[in-house]
Amino acid sequence: MSSEHVRNTDAMQSSPRCGARTRSGTVCRAPAMHGKVRCRMHGGARRSGAPKGNQNARKHGMFTKDSVAERRQVQVLLDEAWKLLNDLK
């Protein structure tokens, strides 16, 4: 390979970027799909996303405030029971 060859990447560099946030909190640097604001991985592709009636997207309520509070109360009760059992030994 010769070092004299220069790639013309101007069009790619000047294309609009995807505005989605990645898991690390940074902005996605992939180019957006033509006529859209997201890249192919973040929802720009046709028919992307979960299908209608997807059971994987069903809400189960495990992390509602009430459920979390109930689990904490149960944990406090269990901790007190263990302390009582250890005091009886």
Is the pTM higher than 0.85?
no
Task: Say what the pLDDT of residue 1 is.
Answer: 53
Give the CA distances from residue 53 to residues 19, 50, 61, in Å, rounded to whole numbers and listed in that order. 28, 8, 18
Among the listed residues 41, 27, 38, 34, the one whose alpha carbon sits nearest the alpha carbon of residue 11: 34
Q: What is the pLDDT of residues 15-74, one digit of tens each?
A: 899 888 888 889 998 888 888 888 888 887 777 666 777 777 778 888 899 999 999 999
- Where do the structural domains in the chain lie, given as residue ranges? 10-44, 61-89
Task: Say what the pLDDT of residue 74 is.
Answer: 98
Residue 44 gets the label, from left (phi > 0), alpha (psi -120 to 50) or beta, of alpha
CA dist 24 and 11 (Å) reads 27
Tell me the mean pLDDT in the region 7-13: 78
Tell me the mean pLDDT in the region 11-16: 81
